[in-house]
Amino acid sequence: MAPTDEDNQPSSRHSALTDATPPDRPPTEGAVAAVARMPRWLPRAMVLALALIAAFQLGSWAFHQLTGLLINILIAFFLALAIEPAVSRMAARGMRRGLATFLVFLGLTIAVAGFVTLLGSMLAGQIIKMIEGFPDYLDSLINWTNETFHTELRRVDVQEGLLHSDWLRKYAQNSAAGVLDVSTQVLGGLFQLLTIGLFSFYFAADGPRLRRALCSVLPPARQTEVLRAWEIAVDKTGGYLYSRGLMALISGVAHYILLQALDVPYAPVLGVWVGLVSQFIPTIGTYLAGALPMLIAFTVEPWYAVWVLGFVVVYQQFENYVLQPKLTARTVDIHPAVAFGSVIAGTALLGAVGALIAIPAVATLQAFLGAYVKRYAVTDDPRVHGHRRRSPSGPGVLTRIRRLWAGRPEPEES
Residues near 305 by beta carbon (within 8 Å), at least 6 away in sequence: 294, 295, 297, 298
Q: What percent of the chain has pLDDT over 90?
A: 8
pLDDT grade for 51, boundaries at 50, 70 and 90: very high
User: What whole-number distance in Å separates Cα of residue 317 and Cα of residue 319?
Assistant: 5
Q: Has this prediction a pTM greater than 0.85?
A: no
> pLDDT for 94-115, tens place per residue?
889 989 999 999 998 898 888 7
Q: Is the pLDDT of residue 299 over 90?
A: no
Residues in the chain: 414
Residues near 383 by beta carbon (within 8 Å), at least 6 away in sequence: 389
Q: If residue 386 lies in a helix (H) or strand (E), which one and from where to where?
A: none
Residues near 162 by beta carbon (within 8 Å), at least 6 away in sequence: 168
User: What whole-number distance in Å separates Cα of residue 117 and Cα of residue 3?
Assistant: 134
> Looking at residue 186, what is its pLDDT?
77
Within its chain, how far is the Cα of 382 from the centroid? 39
Residue 112 or 51, more confident:
51
pLDDT grade for 409, boundaries at 50, 70 and 90: low
Dihedral angle over CA of 188, 194, 199, 204, nearest 10: 150
> pLDDT for 22-40, tens place per residue?
555 555 555 455 556 778 8
Q: What single string gives the DSSP state of each residue in 42-82?
A: HHHHHHHHHHHHHHHHHHHHHHHHTHHHHHHHHHHHHHHHH
Q: Residue 132: is it exposed, middle or buried by C-beta count within 10 angstroms (0-12/13-18/19+)?
A: exposed
> Looking at residue 199, what is its pLDDT?
92
Alpha-carbon distance values, 25 to 20, 22, 28, 37, 345 (Å): 15, 9, 9, 21, 72
Alpha-carbon distance values, 368 to 19, 42, 62, 361 (Å): 83, 47, 31, 11
> pLDDT for 258-297, tens place per residue?
988 988 888 888 888 888 888 877 667 777 888 888 888 8
> Looking at residue 175, what is its pLDDT?
62
Q: Which region among 63-72, 128-137, 196-205, 285-294 has the lowest average model confidence (pLDDT)?
A: 128-137
Residue 22 or 246, more confident:
246
As a whole number, mean pLDDT of residues 140-151 equals 82
Residues near 238 by beta carbon (within 8 Å), at least 6 away in sequence: 81, 82, 84, 85
As a whole number, mean pLDDT of residues 323-334 equals 69
